[in-house]
């Protein structure tokens, strides 16, 4: 079982209209032509009401999470985004705890940048939204947090290269299209860490600690781009100078 400390105080995308669905099985999917694995730097901070770590009573406390998100791709569906693996760094333990297969309920890219005609070597901004859930178990209890975010990415058109056939013929110069994965900022809410010792007027059994705050997922281009999940995990361990622990 994982142990997680809460720190106190402390697409190649097929174009179409102005929206693009990216969940597996929902239509024209895919983000990158190479099916490369995306990695985001993850940060979240907020508040929860729980039993104080150094005292015997319930109190409102600050919570903070730091780590990385790794996108899980379904290559059978044109590299669509299937879910997130979440790695949380625990500074007190100097360890990374891995929470696998967190559901991405929705992630889309949209905006005028999808329709803009790009010249070879040029790019345009696109917008994005995401809704995903972190569900997991720790030695302290269960976690169920839902995250919503909004952000931006970039759409690129490759430069024209003489004597090449990017589209079966050379009548359309530089027609190889690619996208950066988006980065997001947003909010989270939910609950974490069961505790049945609260004095409550109205509460389900077991009574849980509510939590909420803000989060960000910033695309880490240095860690992204590979196609081997073991190598990606090794790179994450090197970044935090520790090892990954899981069930």
Question: Quick one: pLDDT at residue 156?
Answer: 82
Domain ranges within the chain, ordered by starting residue? 19-163+171-240
Provide the pLDDT for residue 18: 32
The dihedrals phi and psi of 169, each to the nearest 5 degrees, come to -150, 175
Alpha-carbon distance of 7 to 9, in angstroms, equals 7
- Residue 207 is predicted with a pLDDT of 62
Residue 225, exposed/middle/buried by CB under 10 A (0-12, 13-18, 19+)? Answer: middle
The model's pTM is: 0.78
Per-residue pLDDT of the chain in tens (247 residues, 90 and over written 9): 444 433 332 233 333 333 344 555 443 333 443 568 999 999 999 998 876 666 667 778 888 999 999 999 876 555 678 899 999 999 988 999 999 999 999 988 888 888 888 777 788 899 999 999 999 877 666 789 999 999 999 888 777 655 444 444 444 554 677 788 899 999 999 987 655 555 555 555 556 778 999 999 999 999 998 889 999 999 999 999 999 987 5
Give the pLDDT of residue 80.
76
Residue 226 exposed, middle or buried by CB count within 10 Å (0-12, 13-18, 19+): middle
Both tokens of 73, joined, read 């791709």
pLDDT reported for residue 75: 64
Q: Using CA atoms, how far apart are residues 70 and 99, in angstroms rounded to an integer?
A: 10
């Amino acid at each position: 079982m994982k142990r997680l400390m809460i720190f106190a105080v402390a697409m190649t995308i097929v174009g179409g209209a102005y929206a693009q669905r990216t969940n597996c099985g929902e239509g024209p999917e895919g983000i990158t032509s190479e099916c490369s694995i995306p990695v985001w730097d993850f940060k979240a901070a907020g508040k929860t009401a729980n039993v104080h770590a150094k005292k015997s009573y319930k109190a409102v406390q600050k919570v903070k999470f730091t780590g990385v998100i790794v996108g899980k791709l379904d290559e059978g569906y044109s590299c669509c985004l299937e879910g997130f693996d979440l790695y949380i760094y625990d500074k007190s333990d100097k360890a990374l705890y891995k929470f696998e297969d967190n559901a991405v309920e929705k992630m889309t890219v949209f905006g005028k940048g999808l329709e803009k005609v790009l010249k070879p070597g040029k790019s345009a901004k696109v917008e994005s939204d995401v809704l995903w859930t972190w569900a997991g178990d720790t030695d302290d209890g269960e976690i169920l947090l839902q995250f919503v975010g909004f952000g931006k990415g970039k759409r690129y058109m490759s430069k024209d290269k003489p004597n090449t056939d990017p589209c079966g013929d050379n009548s359309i110069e530089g027609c190889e299209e690619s996208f950066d994965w988006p980065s997001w900022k947003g909010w989270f809410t939910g609950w974490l860490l069961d505790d049945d010792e609260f004095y409550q007027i109205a509460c389900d059994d077991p009574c849980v600690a509510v939590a909420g705050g803000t989060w960000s997922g910033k695309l880490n281009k240095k860690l992204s781009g590979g196609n081997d999940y073991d190598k990606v995990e090794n790179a994450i361990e090197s970044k935090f100078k520790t090892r990954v622990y899981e069930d």
